[in-house]
Structure 1
Amino acid sequence: MAQGTLGPTLVDVILPRKATLATAALAAVLPLANAAAQNAAQPPLHADPFPLSEVHRGLHGTAWTVFEGTDPEPMDVEILGRLKDAIGPGQDMILARLHGAKPEFTGVVAGMSGSPVYIDGKLLGALAFRIGQFSKEPICGITPIGSMFQVRDLPTLAPPAIATPLSKASVGETSPEIHAIDTPLVFSGFSQDTITRYADNFRNLGLEPVSGIGSASPDTHQPQPIVPGSAVSAIMARGDLNVAATCTVTYVDEKQLLACGHPMTQYGNISIPMTKSEVIATLASPMNAFKIVNSTETVGSFTQDRANAVAGTFGRTARMIPVAVDITPEPGSGLPAQSLHFEVLDNRQLTPQVMLAAVYQSLNQNNTAANQMSLRLTGDIALEDADGRPGTVHLTSTFAASDNQPAAQLATVSFAQKFLAVFGNDLAQPKITSVQLHAVAVPRRESAELETARLSTNEAQPGDTIQVEATIRPFQRESRVVRIPITLPTTLTPGPLRIFVSDGPSLDRLLTPPPAAGSVNLGLQDTVAQLNRTHSNDRLYVTLLDHQTQAVTAAAALPSLPPSIANVLQPMRGTRQITFTSETAAEAGSAPAEAQLSGAEVLTIRIR
């Protein structure tokens, strides 16, 4: 009211009304603004694709990814241009720069691949590539959604276990300065020693191993639904040991999802458990920035691993290989026992790498492990062939630590040779039904050398029983004598007879020479039989080398061949399917060496 007047002026009347109208208008607008803000706080669940032909420099959009928790957060995206054929022939890449406090602080981090990018509410594609190693700006490459939809629409072409993996050169490698964003491979329950030993095997597949930064909680229910921008994990191992690879969802419908925007390994058809994931934190680092992830409940199976995306199907169950490893201390040692149970994915390319790292971890990283430890290892690899016929590969040997290798490493290498021989068979893909290993941990180095060997007599007749005496020197202990009685066959002919006294591996090399170049590969059942004929390395063996022709094939040795049969088999020499030796090796006896034995000696006796 104006001073010195009897009532309100016209201005006094008008201004309060304007204020009232403004307040009312604001009250009406606020709910709409709040609703818009709430809508903007979530990525679109269903969006049309943004035409690649309309992409040009200067466009702005929004990318979504999880920095912490389970809810995707927005990042501003500035389109810098389109790189023709950058991903492959006919496959363009969209170059972009990220804006915002978080992406400018963290940069392009491992686990961010697959983050969806929208322009005007339409789905452009997925963040998938980083530029350079120590870039000062969060510049990235985007895989167009059209290329990813090609993966969504693929039929199942072959059983996952038989598909042939591509070489690393074809996995997201576009140029020395453009790399697929690393997929963090989180190892939970593994030591840094294990990760260091096997890390390069995974890096060669495009996966970045991360030790102890993350975990697995498969029994944890995660109520939040999977939406574009959510984190998802591919489970390589679960149980007492866990391995999971994590990236971001680009597209999701009621049946399936697309993620990553690049391959994990580009294996093709796969079957790997797919889980929801929670991002505990995002670690910023110029060397190796990544998301720290906790994988949770299983929601389906990843079914495709292709050049432009990884696809997963909801509700599908992936097959896993059950593994049990028991460590029992030597009686009286006072060391604790340990038992580990876990499952490993069934994939021709990834399973061997995960299996070997898990077995090494199980055997080495426990309170029984020590530098001078030995392991007496037994076990079975149970399998079925394509016709459902069962088979079992048996393992039994002793492994003593050396000056530069722990016993667990030696045992793992031995296990790997047999596992890979069946799992990587060129003629048939087995179904591994279980792996069971049992190791007795001995707190000392149980290795020994064969010093000398001698016979109880220099002459004998066919059918006589003679004795082989061998002197064995254990590591840092007194030598001892091992005696093995053998009975000479009644079919021996007069003259000198050579007797081979040896460890198990030397005998295997004698009985099964290495295959010649171009030789025929063994089928699965023959491979299992051949592996089960190998000899333990902790026994001393006596073998007679008789003067009769022996044929050796990839599957077996054929001793004491009559000349007529040898002549029939001669044509096989031209195809390198068979070799002949002038002596037949016949095992005559063995005795425990009570240590990992090395050494061999040839003795001669005259047959009267």
Structure 2
Amino acid sequence: MKLNEIKPDMEGVARTVFQGYKVEEFPVKIIDIIQGDLNTGLILFRAYGEKIEEIGGIASGMSGSPVYIDGKLIGAIAYSWSLSDHRFGLITPIEDMLALLESTGQTGEKGFRGFPLNTPLYISGMQGRAFQRTRKVFENLGFQVLQGGGLGARTDTEEALEEGSAVAVQLVRGDVNIAAIGTLTYMEGGNILALGHSFTNKGEVDYLLSRAYINAIIPSISSPFKLGSPTDELIGSVTVDRNAGLAGTLQKVSRIIPLSVKVKDQERDKSEIVNVQLVKDEDYLTSLITNVSLQAIDSTLDRVGKGTARVKLKITGKGLPELGLERENVFYSRSDIAATALYELYELMNIININPFKKVELIDIKVDVEISNLDNVALIQEARILNEKIKAGDTLEIEVTLLPYRSDPVVQNIAFKLPDDINPGNASLVIDGGLTGISYQALPDEDYELAEAKQAIVEGYKDLESILKDYLARPRNNELILQVYPAYYVSEQEIEETEEEGENQEERQARENSPGDDVIETEEKEEKRPDSDRKIREQNSYREIKEIHATDYVLEGNLVIDFNIEEVTENTAPGSV
């Protein structure tokens, strides 16, 4: 039935699930038609009957409940008011919803932007801060977030899927479940319509669709709500998410990303593996992956505190270099090792998901975390070069003293080969620990501005491959980085130009007319030193001379040692003693 055929005082019935899987009817009465913008309208109605009076009115989770007058579908229950008489609500006309089946690729469509019934979003398998972080993400989108039952509750039903059945739109399924519960409005030829208002309002989507089991409808002063959980059997996918509701199909299932998080607590010799499937939505993936991983660590450790973690990441996807990347690192925290251990996972997922260069089709994600209660952290206490004289090509004998936390010093001897053509003169050896300031950061709050992160990611880069290459080349936190900065080569021409700036015009003219000993000496030096030699020395001033050595500790601090590289004469071969 079309909107222009509906009149005040018409009576009909709505269909929904009050408990279990059984679809039941309750009476409704049309009050008026409310005209909206862009030739849209909503149907104001009042629900009544024994069931409605018992629960206190229209409940969250009834979104999508089909309404019929004289056996004809007029639309879906979609909107109501909190802290009011919950028997009153608004219906989205069915013609607006049917347009969703033809809306693929369109940027706009009919629909009311108002105050939809808070779609209950149930999260199971998460507790504590992982749940709180995830709840914040979805409450900011207008969801009523509740802790619910697990996946697969009560799948043994003889009730067939029909208009009015409870359905769940799943974002995460497995050991952790995140799903919104609503009602199926329309079903024909493998196509479905649901909710009567948007879920994320993102247009074309690919979300998992299953049936839902309703435990009960809970009365509430703010708004009654359905308490339920998704079933383990998928029935299709949601492909369109717009103002007038959801459209989807029963003929295919959404593509998903498997995530496996393996955690071992070495102190208690306890291991857990958390496996989930995630929908391919870049806007939520980083938060979902890190929060599921945080839950896996927190539930395994059953504590928040200090420790050392070894983390291995393996990410597979189309669009990544060689279809995947791997990263291993060691982390230490004095207060929250779980959150600190996941920071690189968070960074990498942000790089992949919000980079502006190309879309990455993620295929599989594996996270392997081993955590001990040990303080495997050390300070770079002192260092010295043991060589008495140093020339180009020599091997530096370096003694580095590490001071582990509340333990005795540990001496590490390192041999560092200098290039044969390194510039002579004063040089510096910088010894640094791989643990930088950013490595101390834990997971940022969910209010973190992605726009700022995106700008930081792309600055100075022209493609995703170069970003990932530089990121994966970053030193690990347990690595000792030694880098030599050779003497800066100053050409004779630069010396002359500097000296000339301090001379007056007469002195400069006199020197040009009557060359002195200094000029003759300079000319002789330039004659002896070919252009190729000068260019090499200039290039050597800027090249990187670095070695990286792994240790048993997460390293903090840095030291600088100045030393002199003697000029190699014709009679002294590079590297000779």
> Which TM-score bucket, shorter chain as reference?
0.7 to 0.9
Q: Which amino acid aligns with 2:35?
A: K
SS of the equivalent of 1:215 reads coil
1:250 and 2:185 matched: yes
Output aligned runs, 1:9-158, within 5 Å.
50-85=1-36, 89-104=38-53, 105-131=55-81, 133-155=82-104
- Contact in 2 for aligned 1:335/1:368 (Cα 8 Å): no
- Contact in 2 for aligned 1:128/1:181 (Cα 8 Å): yes
Match of 1:586 in 2: 545
Match of 1:534 in 2: 474
Deviations, residues 76-135 of structure 1 (Å, cap 9, x unaligned): 3233333322xx53332333332234434344433221111222322221122232x422
SS of the equivalent of 1:316 reads coil
1:251 Cα offset (Å): 0.9
Match of 2:559 in 1: 601
Q: Structure 1: 5+ residue runs without aligned partners?
A: 1-49, 158-163, 550-561, 566-579
Output aligned runs, 1:362-381, within 5 Å.
362-367=296-301, 369-381=303-315
Q: Structure 2: 5+ residue runs without aligned partners?
A: 440-453, 490-532, 567-577
What RMSD in Å do the two structures reach over aligned CA positions? 3.5
Deviations, residues 524-549 of structure 1 (Å, cap 9, x unaligned): 43333233212212222112334679
State the alpha-carbon separation in 2 of the partners of residues 171 and 582 from structure 1: 66
Residues 1:53 and 1:278: Cα distance change in structure 2 (over 3 Å): same
Match of 1:320 in 2: 256
Q: Which amino acid aligns with 1:153?
A: E
- The number of aligned residues is 506
1:226 Cα offset (Å): 1.8
State the alpha-carbon separation in 2 of the partners of residues 584 and 92 from structure 1: 69
1:300 and 2:258 matched: no
Residues 1:304 and 1:508: Cα distance change in structure 2 (over 3 Å): same
SS of the equivalent of 1:365 reads helix
1:471 Cα offset (Å): 4.2
Q: Which amino acid aligns with 2:315?
A: I
Residues 1:80 and 1:428: Cα distance change in structure 2 (over 3 Å): same
Deviations, residues 20-65 of structure 1 (Å, cap 9, x unaligned): xxxxxxxxxxxxxxxxxxxxxxxxxxxxxx2212444433332222
State the alpha-carbon separation in 1 of the partners of residues 149 and 56 from structure 2: 18
Moved more, 451-460 or 436-445: 451-460
Aligned to 1:400, which of 317, 332, 353? Answer: 332
- Contact in 1 for aligned 2:34/2:44 (Cα 8 Å): yes
1:391 and 2:327 matched: no
Output aligned runs, 1:176-325, within 5 Å.
178-211=114-147, 213-217=148-152, 220=155, 222-287=157-222, 289-296=224-231, 297-325=233-261
Residues 1:508 and 1:264: Cα distance change in structure 2 (over 3 Å): closer
1:430 and 2:366 matched: no
1:367 Cα offset (Å): 4.5
1:343 and 2:261 matched: no
Q: Which amino acid aligns with 2:199?
A: M
Q: Which amino acid aligns with 2:191?
A: Q
- Contact in 2 for aligned 1:374/1:399 (Cα 8 Å): yes
1:155 Cα offset (Å): 3.5
State the alpha-carbon separation in 2 of the partners of residues 171 and 454 from structure 1: 74
1:282 Cα offset (Å): 1.8
1:247 Cα offset (Å): 1.2
- Contact in 2 for aligned 1:271/1:318 (Cα 8 Å): yes
Match of 2:344 in 1: 414
1:475 Cα offset (Å): 4.1
State the alpha-carbon separation in 2 of the partners of residues 468 and 288 from structure 1: 71
- Contact in 2 for aligned 1:231/1:278 (Cα 8 Å): yes
Residues 1:441 and 1:584: Cα distance change in structure 2 (over 3 Å): same
1:148 Cα offset (Å): 0.9
SS of the equivalent of 1:261 reads coil
Residues 1:527 and 1:218: Cα distance change in structure 2 (over 3 Å): farther
- Contact in 2 for aligned 1:487/1:588 (Cα 8 Å): no
1:500 and 2:430 matched: yes
State the alpha-carbon separation in 1 of the partners of residues 378 and 222 from structure 2: 47
Residues 1:470 and 1:154: Cα distance change in structure 2 (over 3 Å): same
Match of 1:573 in 2: none
SS of the equivalent of 1:415 reads helix
State the alpha-carbon separation in 2 of the partners of residues 202 and 139 from structure 1: 26
Deviations, residues 349-384 of structure 1 (Å, cap 9, x unaligned): 233332222111112212565523432111211112
Q: Which amino acid aligns with 1:415?
A: L
Match of 1:382 in 2: 316
Residues 1:564 and 1:148: Cα distance change in structure 2 (over 3 Å): farther
Match of 1:555 in 2: none
Q: Which amino acid aligns with 2:2?
A: P
SS of the equivalent of 1:293 reads strand
Match of 2:395 in 1: 465
1:521 Cα offset (Å): 4.9
Query: What TM-score, normalized to structure 2?
Result: 0.78
Q: Which amino acid aligns with 1:594?
A: Y
State the alpha-carbon separation in 2 of the partners of residues 108 and 470 from structure 1: 72
Query: What TM-score, normalized to structure 1?
Result: 0.75
SS of the equivalent of 2:164 reads coil
Match of 2:524 in 1: none
Q: Which amino acid aligns with 2:547?
A: A
